[in-house]
Amino acid sequence: MEKIFSKRIIWFLIPVFCLVLAVIAFFAIYRSSTSSGLNTDLYIKGGNTVTVSVGTDAVVNYDANVDKIKVILENNGIKDAFFELSTRTYDDQAKIIVSYVNVKGADMTAVNSKIVDEIKDAYKDIATVEDYVSIQTVSGKFNDSVILNALLAFGIAFLLIYAYMFVRYGWANALSGLISSLVVGVIVVSLIVITHTPISSSVLGLIAFALVLTAVVSIVLFDKITYNAKKSGFKGGKSEAENIICLSVKQIFKVSLYLYVFIMLAAIALLITGLAFNIKLSVGAALTLILTDIAVCYAQFIFTPCLSSILMSTVDKKNKISK
């Protein structure tokens, strides 16, 4: 731990490095494609989901059916679409689910109507149910309002957590925890952009989870630091502050490590499931959870202790000056 303190400048540069790479990746993707630079799904941008219920043929001739529907979509200006095979107990209940985002400047009501009519015409001879083609539309404006309300609620809760930190552990620890949470947010978002991980409502929820988890583990660390400082009769000094923080980190290391291993195993299981069944949202959520786990672990064991040692010394200097 002492070696970590001696190289704190390097550790502080990690989030800056991630942010720079994210900016480069964002503009590289933006310039090389028609996307916004972010891999957002239709529940963020607004879009449409078409369900084609063709039973056994959806399973037996899946690739041929995907190619057939792709031609229809491309003829109507839809260049990018995500295909998923949905089955239940029997293959005769199988469905092909097609998702695509709205085309900017297009009359999507007319486009969707034409797509549905053409798909119905293409599958009228093998349809297994009466309403074998259906479409669900998600409004981008609706999701914007939901996201804004969620951000407002999360922001209030976030401020309450750090108000508690301020009252319980003082401004130095509260500031340290706040900066650590913001750094984790920067790292997770940056890595999402760099890896081009699909951004969905579940991914946004996991980013919020990363910030809250950082606050919680910071409280655990600060509680130990406060206890050890009182027990040792801490009177100030950089060396003594670092010793107290080292001891506190060692005391919580094993329990915290179990938490991070558990989260990583859950994320890997979710990733395997998503890849096995071609579930795009599960893959995106799993990748975000893995990135979150790494970032919070870095914050608790490296960034927050390093920052706390600096702020504890700052508080001590101010106290000496006032005396």
* 165 and 226 part of one domain: yes
- Is residue 95 within 8 Å of residue 123, measured between CB atoms? no
CATH number for the domain harbouring residue 131: 3.30.70.260
- Kindly give the confidence (pLDDT) of every residue in the chain, 323 residues in length, as a single tens digit, with 9 standing for 90 and above: 566 666 667 777 888 888 788 777 767 654 544 444 445 555 566 688 888 887 777 777 888 888 899 999 999 988 877 777 776 545 666 788 888 888 778 888 899 999 999 988 888 877 666 677 888 887 655 556 666 777 788 788 888 888 999 898 888 888 888 888 888 888 888 877 777 676 666 777 777 888 888 888 889 999 998 899 888 887 777 788 888 888 999 999 988 889 899 989 988 888 887 777 656 667 777 888 888 888 899 888 888 888 888 887 765 444 443 33
Hey, which residues does 136 pair with through a beta bridge?
A: 49
* Domains: count for the chain: 2
Q: What is d(CA 289, CA 198) in angstroms, rounded to the nearest whole number?
A: 12
Model confidence pTM above 0.85:
no
* 184 and 287 part of one domain: yes
- Whole domain around residue 204: which residue ranges? 2-35+141-322
In a domain, 42, yes or no: no
* 195 and 299 part of one domain: yes
* 167 and 306 part of one domain: yes
**DSSP states of 112-173 as a string?**
HHHHHHHHHHHHTTT-SSSS-EEEEEE-HHHHHHHHHHHHHHHHHHHHHHHHHHHHHHHHHH
* 106 and 198 part of one domain: no
Phi, psi (rounded to 5 degrees) for 136: -125, 130
